[in-house]
Amino acid sequence: FDGSRIACAIIMQPPQFLEARGFVPYFSYSGNLQVSGSIDPITTSHLAVATQTFTFSLDGVDPACSSGAGGAANSCGIHIHAGTSCAEDALGHYYSTASDPWSAVAYTADEADQAQGTFSVETGLAASEIEGHTFIIHAFDGSRIACAVMTAGSIGGGGGGLSPGDIAAYVIGSAFAAFLLVAFLYLFCFPKSQTTEPPKPPQRTADV
């Protein structure tokens, strides 16, 4: 009522999750490999460097990648590229860090020509910056064989998205981050209240 401040809350951006589905052959690829599957969810965390974490489940990848990447550049790669269409050149790897974080990111094919896994890549890019860009799958020789454009994903939907466990982990992590921020502000930013001691009564001395 007197205008003093009594409560505080932190404004947080809602989580944004992306996915890459509906893989098609790369526009210049003429081989026999037919990649399908999904990369979902694709999440972005903003710590020291913006990082994309993505889980992939793919069919029809290059069987030559059964032992992982070879010596060729981009061998068995699974990368975000700067392009925004699968009907044209996808351009180079997409990142804003000083060095290319995608060079060592590669899948391993199993005996059924499938590949699954999860990677975290420090790209320096926000989720809004990578949405609409291409995810490219490479062959063992480093060539581009499949493409899909990243779009906004669904949370816990039937077509993919986050599981309840993923959502719970995000909520807990966000709450903990908010707690740390409030504690930091309280300790270092808010002025400390000054406490004063009550005045001492004057001391009297007896006359001699």
pLDDT in tens, 153-169: 865 444 444 455 455 55
DSSP string, 82-105: S---TTS---SB---SSS-TTTT-
| CB within 8 Å of 173: residues ≥ 6 apart | none
On whether the CB atoms of residues 16 and 6 are closer than 8 A, the answer is: no
Task: Give the single-character DSSP code of 193.
Answer: P
pLDDT in tens, 71-95: 999 999 999 999 999 999 999 999 9
Using 50, 70 and 90 to split pLDDT, how confident is the model at 5? confident
The dihedral built from the CA positions of residue 155, 118, 135 and 174, taken in this order, carries a sign that is positive
Calculate mean pLDDT across residues 26-30. 97
Distance of CA 171 to the CA centre of its chain: 15
Q: What's the mean per-residue pLDDT of the chain?
A: 84
Q: How far apart are CA 156 and CA 203, in angstroms?
A: 75
User: Which residue in 41, 150, 1 sits closest to 85, CA to CA?
Assistant: 150
User: Which residue in 65, 46, 42 sits closest to 135, CA to CA?
Assistant: 42
Instruction: Output the pLDDT for position 142.
Output: 98
Instruction: Output the pLDDT for position 116.
Output: 98
pLDDT in tens, 119-152: 999 999 999 999 999 999 999 999 999 999 999 9
Count of Cβ atoms closer than 10 Å to residue 43 Cβ: 19
The dihedral built from the CA positions of residue 151, 23, 119 and 31, taken in this order, carries a sign that is negative
Tokens representing 8 are 């505080």
Q: What pTM was computed for the model?
A: 0.70
Indicate whether 177 pLDDT > 50.
Answer: yes
Where would I find the H helices in 46-193?
Answer: 127-130, 164-188
Q: How far apart are CA 108 and CA 128, in angstroms?
A: 29
pLDDT in tens, 32-76: 999 999 999 999 998 889 999 999 999 999 999 999 999 999 999
The dihedral built from the CA positions of residue 8, 13, 14 and 17, taken in this order, carries a sign that is negative
Indicate whether 178 pLDDT > 70.
Answer: no
